[in-house]
Amino acid sequence: MSTRFAYFACVLTLLATALHAAPYTPKRGDDIIEQLPMRTDPAQLALRQLRAQLAAKPRDLELATSIAQRYIVTARAETDPRYFGYAQAALAPWWSSPAPPHAVRLLRATLLQSTHHFSEAMQDLDAVVAADPANGQAWLTRATVQTVRGEYAAATASCARLSSLANELVAITCIANVAGMNGRAAAREALLDATLERGGDADPAVRSWSLTLLAEMAGRRGAAALAEQRYRRALALTPRDSYLVGAYCDFLLDQGRPRDVLPLVQEQTRIDALLLRYALALQQIPGQQDALRRADDELRARFGAAMQRGDSVHQREQARYELQLRGDSKTALVLAQKNWTVQKESADMRVLLEAALHAGDRPAAAPVLEWIRSNRVEDVVLARLAKQLGTGA
């Protein structure tokens, strides 16, 4: 999902960034724990000045929402989930209010969906669009949440509201994102591709979002060369976008190119989803046992800490970890089934089907197979797995 709507200063992505990493204990005194932003960075200086102002006037609504939005944008630009926490802190005076100001409600929904609190996010989004039907950011965030939850008709309706509220590329990308999951992928891919080429002056983050979706659509129909081209174009625009990097790494792993994965993720392994891709790549490269063991230990600690906190954000990644790195298909299947109750993207379908196949439990795969059939999901990998499970879904 989820997902990357910097055009509206939202962070969506899905679906694969670690918002709460486990505490890291360095093994040696000279280990680098974190590289902090330069104190002379103009963006950091601006944030520091805003923080000082907010500390003096914590209930200044305009100031609080402004700094929260900046933190959200910074979280995406820096691929640093800590900024989401800073954004929530800026909204603290209103965070627990049942009816906060609409500006707070929209930002709260953005932050809630990033931790998979979809029902709570939708309550806020419904309230925002009811009071302000012309709020394009709310409709886009709403469509994204609905798509992740598999509510395709509702998501399409939300995207339709964008046609008069956002530029053409944003509206068409929103619609294509839904159509890619319910049997209309080919036509929408062609439309989005044409719209993207016409919109050469669009915001780079929006173009990257569109290109990433186009790459995924090409990959799902088996057009590997085209998917590669689109991923590279997107990376040229937003090289640190963690969702994009993760999606491209998955593509490379499927293509049997693990060595190409390492340089993409080795500087971003503090993000759980990218550490997982790093470990999966190491697993496929001979002579990497020591590095793989360290990565495996770190992943196990992080997922264990998340389970102790009751954090279910990373169940899809944890299911992949248990299945592909630990070889525990039964545990992977349980995690994939829990994840399926929350989100229904292609990657969610894939990990559940793979876990069911390895566990020899076809009945566990039945809900996903029926979902693929009834929604006419088009994906060559899912089709192959369905065939292996004994159905042509």
The total number of residues written for the chain in this structure: 393
Tell whether the model's pLDDT for residue 17 goes beyond 60: no
C-beta separation of 252 from 277 below 8 A: no
pLDDT of residue 74: 81
Please report the pLDDT score of residue 343 as a whole number.
Answer: 93
Q: Is the predicted pLDDT of residue 313 greater than 50, yes or no?
A: yes
pLDDT band at 6; cut points 50, 70, 90: very low
pLDDT digits (tens, 9 = 90+) for 107-124: 999 999 888 899 999 999
Distances (CA, A) of 14 to 116, 129, 143, 144: 9, 22, 13, 9
> pLDDT tens-digit profile of 67-78?
999 898 887 766
% of residues, the chain, pLDDT over 90: 70
Check if the beta carbon of residue 31 is closer than 8 Å to that of residue 167.
no
DSSP code at position 166: S
> Would you tell me how many other CB atoms lie within 10 Å of the CB of residue 104?
22
Which ranges constitute the DSSP H helices of 199-314? 204-220, 224-237, 242-254, 258-265, 272-283, 289-309
What is the pTM assigned to this prediction? 0.85
Average pLDDT over residues 173-186: 87
Residue in 206, 201, 133 with CA at minimum distance from that of residue 176: 206
| Residue the block writes with tokens 């989005």 | 192
Tell me which of 67-76, 184-193, 285-294, 348-357 is least confident: 67-76
Q: Which amino acid is at 214?
A: L
Distance CA 362, CA 365 (A): 5
Using CA atoms, how far apart are residues 16 and 244, in angstroms rounded to an integer?
10
**The pLDDT of residue 131 is above 80:** yes
Choose the weakest-confidence range: 111-120, 232-241, 292-301: 111-120
Q: Which residues of 302-337 are buried (b: 16+ CB within 10 A; e: fewer)?
A: bbeebeeeebbbbbbbbbbbbbbbeebbebbbbbbb
Reference 214, options 246, 238, 186, 256; nearest CA is 186
Residue 358, both tokens: 């390895």
Distance of alpha carbon 367 from its chain centroid, rounded?
A: 23
DSSP letter for 185, please.
H
